[in-house]
Amino acid sequence: MFLINRGVSSLNKENIMENGPYKNKKAILSLSTGGQKLMYENKGVNGDISKILYPITFGTLYYSGFQVFRPCCHFGAAHSDKLGKQYIEAWKVRLTSILNNENINLIEFNTTEKYENGILKSETDQINFNNFVKKKK
């Protein structure tokens, strides 16, 4: 991550996000988990996987200018050879579509014009990424 963001943090707001140094480049995260998919959903014990990955997808990749695809997550593949093989085949199809410039499954982040002084102008654009953190009473 350091190499991607080296020097990016010192850029002015006109040269970040969709205008960042890596604009017109694409990025995708591919990962596997030991747990089942349900464990990585909003009410799951581990929390929503997209919220867990948000600091990487937004804070590192999108901030640097990448077009970021939805992560390729393989849940519990180590527990089933059949499932592992299905994931490999699905990954091949997904990579082929990306290589063919099919921009489906891109994450739609708020663009720089929706921010003022680093804060979203409208609360309707904001997403709560802390649902899995227990709130204090």
Q: Which residue has the higher pLDDT, 98 or 130?
A: 98
| pLDDT, tens only, 3-16 | 565 666 566 777 88
Quote the radius of gyration of the chain (alpha carbons, Å).
17
Query: Rounded distance, CA 31 to CA 74, Å?
Result: 6
> Within 10 Å of residue 123's Cβ, how many Cβ atoms?
6
pLDDT band at 39; cut points 50, 70, 90: very high
Q: What is the pLDDT of residues 63-110, one digit of tens each?
A: 889 999 989 999 988 888 888 899 999 999 999 988 887 776 777 776
Tell me what the pLDDT averaged over the chain comes to: 79
Task: Record the pTM.
Answer: 0.73
Residue among 71, 57, 72 nearest 110 (CA): 57
Identify which has the larger pLDDT, 70 or 124.
70
Contacts of 131 (CB under 8 A, 6+ apart): 42, 47, 48, 51
- pLDDT higher than threshold 70 for residue 44: yes
In this structure, which topology does domain 2-125 adopt according to CATH?
Rossmann fold (3.40.50)
Nearest CA to 61 out of 99, 105, 16, 102 is that of: 16
Q: What percentage of residues in the chain have a pLDDT greater than 90?
A: 24
d(CA 33, CA 35): 5
pLDDT tier, 131 (very low <50, low <70, confident <90, very high otherwise): very low
Going by pLDDT thresholds of 50, 70 and 90, the confidence category of residue 125 is low
- Binning the chain into helix, strand and coil, the percentages to the nearest 5 are 45, 15, 45
Find the mean pLDDT for residues 111-125.
70
